[in-house]
Amino acid sequence: MIPFDEFTVGIKRPVLDWYVENPYEQSRHDPRDPEDIYGIGYLRHVRGIAIDQINGLYDHKTVYELAALYAARAARRHLGVVPQVADAAAGVANFFKKWDEKSDSAESVLRFICSGLVQYSFFEALRRRIINDLEIPEHREAGLSNLSNLHRVIYREDPEGLIPRYIEQVQSGALDIRDKVPEDVLDLLKTATPADFNNSPNLKWHYVILKGVIWHIEPADPDYVATSPEESEVLEMLHTEHRS
């Protein structure tokens, strides 16, 4: 028997009020299907991208590369006054990356640890849908709008502004969105952490399962006061993770 009271689960969902469905997506909705929500085509695309990548998880070289990338991220956050530390970690990551490129086939999938895979899937699914929409005149307006909102599916901090720069370069024609995604953007996606998803304003809390009890999360006034110790514990979990 699974000890449900020993597990804590948080469920957040993307905020899609910015997403523009193309005419084909709009025509495919079934009002009789309770799961057929707005943007469901995109969300199912995200799921498909993630499933396609799963077989590539936990390759040893990839684990080493990601460990170095995470170290570089942590070093830049906590040891910014010693940039050599971050540069050394980035150098290690680059070494493993080149090693991986030499030994893998051209058809090998990108490889991530769980949270990075999820972040990549949201980005890549939207990128591919934008590519498709820009090819069809009737869908172009939706594609351009979603391109301008590509940053909305980035659930981690982007201190160097890599995603806004990528969007700007695609919009200006300096980059072709159909081309391979730049390495620095991929590295940003790969190093997303569970804490990033917890902190992201682009995701909305829906449920928390704590000690076997399911809590449905709804918006509340800023001065709302918990009515029980259990509710107080749940509300505490919804706070942004504090990082020094």
What are the DSSP calls for 137-151, one per residue?
GGGHHHHHHHHHTGG
Q: What averages of pLDDT result for each successive group of 10 residues across the chain (244 residues)? A: 75 95 96 93 94 64 58 58 57 59 48 79 97 98 98 95 98 97 92 89 93 90 90 89 56
Burial of 214 (0-12, 13-18, 19+ CB in 10 A): exposed
* pLDDT at residue 157, as a whole number: 92
Are 86 and 191 in contact by the 8 Å Cβ rule? The answer is no
Q: Determine the pLDDT at residue 102.
A: 56
Torsion angles phi and psi, residue 209, rounded to 5: -110, 110
d(CA 197, CA 115): 8
pLDDT of residue 25: 96
Residue 222: what pLDDT? 84
Give the predicted TM-score (pTM) of the model: 0.78
142 neighbors 22 (Cβ within 8 angstroms): yes
Identify the pLDDT of residue 106: 38
Q: In whole angstroms, what is the distance from residue 147 CA to residue 144 CA?
A: 5
Nearest to 84 by CA among 96, 95, 72: 72
| 61, 126, 41, 155 alpha-carbon torsion, rounded to 10° | 70
